[in-house]
Amino acid sequence: MPRRYVAVCGASEATPSQLHAAREVGRLLAKHGAVVINGGFGGVMGAASEGAASEGGLVVGILPDTDRGGANPYLSVAIATGLGQARNSVIVTAADSVIAIGPGWGTLSEIAIARRLDRPVFALDTWDVKGLEVVDSPAEAVKRALKD
Protein backbone atom coordinates (compact mmCIF):
# COMPACT_ATOMS: atom_id res chain seq x y z
CA MET A 1 0.00 0.00 0.00
CA PRO A 2 1.47 3.41 -0.92
CA ARG A 3 2.45 5.75 1.90
CA ARG A 4 -0.20 8.37 2.74
CA TYR A 5 0.64 12.05 3.17
CA VAL A 6 -1.57 13.89 5.66
CA ALA A 7 -1.45 17.61 6.41
CA VAL A 8 -2.24 18.58 9.99
CA CYS A 9 -3.33 22.21 10.04
CA GLY A 10 -4.21 24.33 13.02
CA ALA A 11 -3.70 27.44 15.04
CA SER A 12 -0.28 28.43 16.31
CA GLU A 13 -2.08 29.56 19.47
CA ALA A 14 -4.16 26.56 20.47
CA THR A 15 -5.98 25.43 23.58
CA PRO A 16 -4.59 22.61 25.73
CA SER A 17 -7.27 20.24 24.38
CA GLN A 18 -6.40 21.13 20.78
CA LEU A 19 -2.70 20.56 21.49
CA HIS A 20 -3.49 17.21 23.07
CA ALA A 21 -5.60 16.24 20.04
CA ALA A 22 -2.84 17.32 17.64
CA ARG A 23 -0.21 15.27 19.52
CA GLU A 24 -2.45 12.22 19.37
CA VAL A 25 -3.21 12.76 15.66
CA GLY A 26 0.51 12.99 14.92
CA ARG A 27 1.27 9.91 16.98
CA LEU A 28 -1.44 7.83 15.31
CA LEU A 29 -0.50 8.98 11.81
CA ALA A 30 3.13 8.00 12.40
CA LYS A 31 2.09 4.68 13.92
CA HIS A 32 0.29 3.91 10.65
CA GLY A 33 3.27 4.96 8.52
CA ALA A 34 1.84 8.22 7.18
CA VAL A 35 3.98 11.24 6.36
CA VAL A 36 2.87 14.21 8.47
CA ILE A 37 3.02 17.59 6.74
CA ASN A 38 2.50 20.93 8.47
CA GLY A 39 3.62 24.55 8.62
CA GLY A 40 6.62 23.71 10.78
CA PHE A 41 6.12 26.06 13.71
CA GLY A 42 4.42 25.75 17.12
CA GLY A 43 0.89 25.29 18.37
CA VAL A 44 -1.03 22.56 16.56
CA MET A 45 1.85 22.18 14.08
CA GLY A 46 4.39 21.62 16.84
CA ALA A 47 2.15 19.27 18.80
CA ALA A 48 1.39 17.13 15.73
CA SER A 49 5.12 17.06 14.93
CA GLU A 50 5.95 16.03 18.50
CA GLY A 51 3.38 13.23 18.44
CA ALA A 52 4.64 11.88 15.12
CA ALA A 53 8.28 12.12 16.19
CA SER A 54 7.50 10.17 19.38
CA GLU A 55 6.58 7.22 17.14
CA GLY A 56 9.58 7.66 14.84
CA GLY A 57 7.43 9.16 12.09
CA LEU A 58 8.44 11.30 9.15
CA VAL A 59 7.43 14.95 9.68
CA VAL A 60 7.80 17.56 6.94
CA GLY A 61 7.53 21.25 7.82
CA ILE A 62 6.79 23.67 4.99
CA LEU A 63 8.11 27.00 6.31
CA PRO A 64 7.02 30.43 5.06
CA ASP A 65 10.42 32.13 5.29
CA THR A 66 13.74 31.80 3.45
CA ASP A 67 15.43 30.26 6.48
CA ARG A 68 14.69 27.51 8.97
CA GLY A 69 14.78 29.76 12.04
CA GLY A 70 11.93 29.14 14.43
CA ALA A 71 11.07 25.70 13.05
CA ASN A 72 9.91 23.26 15.69
CA PRO A 73 12.53 20.72 16.81
CA TYR A 74 10.41 17.66 15.92
CA LEU A 75 10.61 18.06 12.14
CA SER A 76 12.41 15.39 10.13
CA VAL A 77 12.61 17.78 7.17
CA ALA A 78 12.24 21.59 7.26
CA ILE A 79 11.68 23.19 3.87
CA ALA A 80 12.23 26.96 3.74
CA THR A 81 10.09 28.24 0.88
CA GLY A 82 10.20 32.05 1.00
CA LEU A 83 6.52 31.92 0.04
CA GLY A 84 5.01 33.52 3.14
CA GLN A 85 1.41 32.48 3.66
CA ALA A 86 1.30 31.10 0.10
CA ARG A 87 3.11 28.11 1.60
CA ASN A 88 -0.35 27.02 2.78
CA SER A 89 -1.01 25.98 -0.83
CA VAL A 90 2.11 23.81 -0.82
CA ILE A 91 1.10 22.13 2.46
CA VAL A 92 -2.33 21.00 1.28
CA THR A 93 -1.29 20.29 -2.31
CA ALA A 94 1.38 17.88 -1.04
CA ALA A 95 -1.20 16.05 1.10
CA ASP A 96 -3.69 13.33 0.24
CA SER A 97 -5.96 14.55 3.02
CA VAL A 98 -6.08 17.24 5.69
CA ILE A 99 -6.88 17.17 9.40
CA ALA A 100 -7.80 20.63 10.73
CA ILE A 101 -7.60 21.21 14.48
CA GLY A 102 -8.71 24.48 16.04
CA PRO A 103 -9.46 27.80 14.36
CA GLY A 104 -7.07 30.32 12.92
CA TRP A 105 -6.98 32.37 9.75
CA GLY A 106 -4.16 30.29 8.28
CA THR A 107 -6.13 27.15 9.06
CA LEU A 108 -9.16 28.57 7.31
CA SER A 109 -7.10 29.34 4.21
CA GLU A 110 -5.70 25.79 4.21
CA ILE A 111 -9.21 24.39 4.53
CA ALA A 112 -10.40 26.50 1.58
CA ILE A 113 -7.45 25.55 -0.63
CA ALA A 114 -7.79 21.86 0.25
CA ARG A 115 -11.48 21.85 -0.65
CA ARG A 116 -10.75 23.67 -3.94
CA LEU A 117 -8.27 20.87 -4.70
CA ASP A 118 -10.88 18.27 -3.72
CA ARG A 119 -8.81 17.07 -0.78
CA PRO A 120 -10.92 15.69 2.08
CA VAL A 121 -10.72 17.80 5.25
CA PHE A 122 -11.47 16.21 8.61
CA ALA A 123 -12.50 18.83 11.15
CA LEU A 124 -11.65 18.41 14.83
CA ASP A 125 -12.76 21.38 16.95
CA THR A 126 -12.25 23.84 14.09
CA TRP A 127 -14.18 26.18 11.83
CA ASP A 128 -17.82 25.38 11.08
CA VAL A 129 -17.56 25.34 7.30
CA LYS A 130 -19.83 23.54 4.86
CA GLY A 131 -18.01 20.68 3.13
CA LEU A 132 -15.88 19.58 6.05
CA GLU A 133 -16.16 16.11 7.50
CA VAL A 134 -16.58 16.67 11.24
CA VAL A 135 -14.95 14.08 13.49
CA ASP A 136 -15.20 13.58 17.24
CA SER A 137 -11.74 12.26 18.12
CA PRO A 138 -8.14 12.09 16.95
CA ALA A 139 -8.57 8.35 16.28
CA GLU A 140 -11.57 8.97 14.02
CA ALA A 141 -9.74 11.79 12.19
CA VAL A 142 -6.75 9.55 11.48
CA LYS A 143 -8.83 6.54 10.50
CA ARG A 144 -10.76 8.59 7.97
CA ALA A 145 -7.72 10.49 6.69
CA LEU A 146 -5.90 7.23 5.95
CA LYS A 147 -8.85 5.64 4.19
CA ASP A 148 -8.43 5.33 0.43
CB-based contact 39:64 (threshold 8 Å): yes
Reading the chain (148 residues) residue by residue, the pLDDT tens digits are 689 999 999 989 999 999 999 999 999 999 999 999 999 999 999 999 999 999 999 999 999 999 999 999 999 999 999 999 999 999 999 999 999 999 999 999 999 999 999 999 999 999 999 989 999 999 999 999 999 6
Q: What is the pLDDT of residue 60?
A: 98
Structural domain spans, the chain:
5-120
* Residue 61 phi, psi dihedral angles, 5° rounding: -105, 125
How far apart (Å, rounded) are the C-alpha atoms in residues 134 and 129?
10
Domain at 5-120: CATH architecture = 3-Layer(aba) Sandwich (3.40)
Q: What is the pLDDT of residue 81?
A: 97
CB-based contact 12:128 (threshold 8 Å): no
Q: What is the pLDDT of residue 2?
A: 83
Q: What is the pLDDT of residue 148?
A: 61
Nearest residue to 101 via CA among 69, 123, 77: 123
Q: What is the pLDDT of residue 131?
A: 86
